[in-house]
Amino acid sequence: MASPVVDVQDLRTHIVTRWGTIKAVDGVSFSVAAGETLGLVGESGSGKSMTCLSLVRLVPRPAARIVGGRVLLDGEDLLAKSEDEMQQIRGRKVGMILQDPMSSLNPVFSVGMQLREPVAMYHHLRGRALTVRAAELLAAVRIPSPAARLRAFPHQLSGGMRQRVVGAMAIAAPPRLLIADEPTTSLDLTIQAQYLGLLKELQERHRLAMIFVTHDLGIVARICDRVAVMYGGRIVEIGPVRAIFKSPAHPYTRALLEAIPRLGARRERLTTIEGQPPDLAKLPAGCAFAPRCAHAVDRCRVEAPGDTMLGPGHATRCWLHVPA
Amino acid sequence: MAADPAGGTLTLPEAPTRPAAGARGRRLPLLPIGIIATFIVVAALAPLLSPASPYEQSLRHRFTPPAWEDGGAWAHPLGTDRLGRDMLARIMYGARVSLAAGVLTVLLASAFGAAVGLVAGYYGGRVDAVLMRMTDATMSFPVILLALILAVTVGPSFFNVVLAIAVILWARYARVIRGEVLTLMELDFIAQARIAGAGAGRIITRHLAPNTLNTLVVLVTLQIGYVIIVEASLSFLGAGIPPPTPAWGSMIAEGRDFVTSAWWVSLLPGLAILLVVLAFNLLGDWLRDTLDPKLRQL
């Protein structure tokens, strides 16, 4: 594989609260190559979004702090950059699409004004050339009659349209890495499918490395090349989509896959995962999933497992797979 | 759907016709706008419109009643005061002082207050705590007292009045705008702007400030009336605009010893204050309802 666009090594982000320190991201490592899509899957509070925000150094301050690790973007460590340097990297090198299209555009400016702002910032364009480029971006995200839409205000657009505009802003540079944090969660299914198609298309055109955060394994199967399953701030299993769907190794991954309803399946009841997502302030000493795991043994409760390689690029953190 | 037992035709409730576009709160409040416009024109063109000089004394004609009263004359339509100065002229020139003080004070206070609110809301944490404690301290200081101190130490003047009120008034803007900013900061477009590489300055000026403009306009309008009253109170107490400049507050003060014999000297400037303040308040209420119904608490 070519050298990765982004290489995250042992990333740690802690949140200090009244109830103790939450290890929201606890030693996460992964890499994404150009043109590749990594799915980041897990329950709410598993650390997916915090991982993404850590990559662009926008964790909510002052409570949250990145306390360790490295984030190499084209070989340069973003965690070692100054805030001014980060501002040059955000948007230009790393684009991001957030979940809620209803609030991700500024309500008092037209689409054109909002789209021209980053374009002017990245490309130093002005006047006519700037407007043309903005219209091109809208056309690139398949918005019909883009020149006219530049004059529209956010409230005049549907959720799907707005999310396209946000997409257009995210690829304005275009960046090297695109982070999509549940971008389709609030869209209807048909719009969702179109949007995923669009993201794929943009990714191919610009050879973007993409991190796609979701809790929908259906989407993962459709657009991701590799997937990382997060639980309690750690990646418990990572590997090629095909390998993970065919032979999930970690009990949590297995449980997630079994919880997907399938048409025509004989099973009468959906399998659910017993228990609650872990309280991140009081994580057990061992494996975070141990309290809910049907296969947990004594060792799981006292000692956290390390990575075990299961195949090419397929690793898990589970004692069950560690040869004794 | 429930079956119709009578087997008759199913009558649907009539579809509601569209309510008259923005039936409530949308029609321009012509009365307040008219009053304010009139006073602005009168203030701006006072030298042209005024029937007489507001300073020219004529002791022989002192306490001439308004034209429609017994003993009145059209030479002085609203009568004269204790020094025989024309009341109409003085009220017209007084409008200049009141409006100028109102607008200037509120502009100063809102600019400073909004800036403090934006910075406090954006940075949060310690910056916010310090700025908000300053705001609290400011709000606990009585305007009148500060103006009296200034009047006694530096001497009363138009700019001291403006300064004294603005120095206290900004706190209210800071507090309201900060609250607004805190809400805005939670919205994704701020996060999105940061992700696009926007710095603090750009986010504050391009994203936060324009979104607080509605609130600011409403607050400014409502506060102009308040400032006019405060200025009048100060002038009444002698800590405001120094004589002989005609100011409504000092005119009321001058006439208060003669209310039983010459009611117009106090009453007419009082009426002018009432009209202008009421007009600004009505306009402010209308703006609030039209721009943002969420702002009911202002």
Residue among A61, A91, A108 minimizing CB distance to B197: A91
Is residue A68 scored above 60 in pLDDT? yes
Check A169 against B194: CB less than 8 A apart. Answer: no
Which stretch of A93-107, B4-18, B245-259 has the lowest confidence by average pLDDT?
A: B4-18
* Placement of tokens 């477009």 in the chain: B189
What percentage of residues in chain B have a pLDDT greater than 70? 89
Name the nearest CA neighbour of B219 among B173, B178, B181. Answer: B173
Name the nearest CA neighbour of B170 among B244, B221, B223. Answer: B223
Is residue A304 scored above 60 in pLDDT? yes
Candidate ranges A151-155, A278-282, B13-17; pick with highest mean pLDDT? A151-155
What is the ipTM score, two decimals? 0.81
Task: Confirm whether B14 is domain-assigned.
Answer: no
Residue A48 CA to residue A182 CA, distance in Å, equals 10
Q: Encode pLDDT of B201-245 as tens digits.
A: 889 988 898 888 888 988 898 888 888 888 888 888 888 788 778
For an interface test with B, give the residue of A49, A65, A81, A87 to mutate (most B CBs within 10 A).
A87
Task: Confirm whether B20 is domain-assigned.
Answer: no
3-state secondary structure chain B: CCCCCCCCCCCCCCCCCCCCCCCCCCCCCHHHHHHHHHHHHHHHCHHHHCCCCCCCCCHHHCCCCCCCCCCCCCCCCCCECCCCCEHHHHHHHHHHHHHHHHHHHHHHHHHHHHHHHHHHHHHCHHHHHHHHHHHHHHHCCCHHHHHHHHHHHCCCCHHHHHHHHHHHHHHHHHHHHHHHHHHHHCCHHHHHHHHCCCCHHHHHHHHHHHHHHHHHHHHHHHHHHHHHHHHHHHHHHCCCCCCCCCCHHHHHHHHHHHCCCCCHHHHHHHHHHHHHHHHHHHHHHHHHHHHCHHHHHC
Phi/psi of residue A307, nearest 5 degrees: -70, 135
What percentage of residues in chain A have a pLDDT greater than 70? 97
Q: Encode pLDDT of B150-204 as tens digits.
A: 888 888 888 888 888 899 999 999 999 999 999 888 888 888 888 888 888 889 9
Check A118 against B197: CB less than 8 A apart. Answer: yes
Instruction: For residues A264-290, give the mean pLDDT.
Output: 74
pLDDT band at B250 (very low <50, low <70, confident <90, very high): confident
Is residue A55 scored above 70 in pLDDT? yes
Q: Give the β-pairing of A234-240 and A314-316.
A: antiparallel
Ordered strands of the A76-77 beta sheet:
A20-32, A6-17, A64-73, A76-77
Phi/psi of residue A70, nearest 5 degrees: -135, 145
Q: Which residue of A has its CA nearest to B208?
A: A106
- Number of domains present in the structure of chain B: 1
Residue A254 CA to residue A197 CA, distance in Å, equals 27
Query: What pLDDT is attached to residue A39?
Result: 93
* Placement of tokens 């006292």 in the chain: A302
Query: What pLDDT is attached to residue B26?
Result: 61
Please give the interface size between A and B, counted as residue pairs whose CB atoms are below 8 Å apart.
Answer: 68
Query: What pLDDT is attached to residue A2?
Result: 60
Instruction: For residues B113-136, give the mean pLDDT.
Output: 92
Which stretch of A19-28, B49-58, B86-95 has the lowest confidence by average pLDDT?
A: B49-58
Check A106 against B210: CB less than 8 A apart. Answer: yes
Position with higher pLDDT, B108 vs B94: B108
Which stretch of A107-121, B74-88, B146-160, B249-263 has the lowest confidence by average pLDDT?
A: B74-88
Q: Are B142 and B196 in contact (CB under 8 A)?
A: no
A103 min Cα distance to partner chain B (Å): 5
> What token pair was written down for B49?
């419109």
Q: How far separated are the first and last CA of chain B, in Å rounded?
A: 47
Check B211 against A166: CB less than 8 A apart. Answer: no
pLDDT band at B292 (very low <50, low <70, confident <90, very high): low
Which stretch of A28-42, A109-123, A278-292, B151-165 has the lowest confidence by average pLDDT?
A: A278-292
- The average confidence (pLDDT) of chain B is 82
Using a CB–CB cutoff of 8 Å, tell me whether A121 touches chain B.
Answer: yes
Position with higher pLDDT, B112 vs B57: B112
Instruction: For residues B140-147, give the mean pLDDT.
Output: 86
Q: Encode pLDDT of A253-269 as tens digits.
A: 988 888 777 776 666 66
Instruction: For residues B47-72, give the mean pLDDT.
Output: 77
Phi/psi-derived region of residue A59, left when phi > 0, alpha when psi is between -120 and 50, beta in every other case: beta
Using a CB–CB cutoff of 8 Å, tell me whether A120 touches chain B.
Answer: no
Check A95 against B195: CB less than 8 A apart. Answer: yes
Position with higher pLDDT, B9 vs B150: B150
Task: Confirm whether B69 is domain-assigned.
Answer: yes
Check A100 against B125: CB less than 8 A apart. Answer: no
Task: Confirm whether B275 is domain-assigned.
Answer: yes
For residue B267, CA distances in Å to A1, A89, B101, B259 come to: 90, 67, 21, 8
Q: Whole domain around residue B136: which residue ranges?
A: 30-297
pTM metric for this prediction: 0.80
Check A58 against B188: CB less than 8 A apart. Answer: no
Instruction: For residues A104-131, give the mean pLDDT.
Output: 87
Task: Confirm whether B4 is domain-assigned.
Answer: no
Instruction: For residues A232-243, give the mean pLDDT.
Output: 91
Task: Confirm whether B163 is domain-assigned.
Answer: yes
| CATH classification of the domain holding B73 | 1.10.3720.10
Is residue A57 scored above 60 in pLDDT? yes
Is residue B3 scored above 50 in pLDDT? no
Amino acid at B288: R
Task: Confirm whether B11 is domain-assigned.
Answer: no
Query: What pLDDT is attached to residue A286?
Result: 83
Is residue B1 scored above 50 in pLDDT? no
Residue B100 CA to residue B103 CA, distance in Å, equals 5
Task: Confirm whether B22 is domain-assigned.
Answer: no
pLDDT band at B296 (very low <50, low <70, confident <90, very high): low
Q: Encode pLDDT of A178-209 as tens digits.
A: 999 888 887 888 888 888 998 999 999 999 99
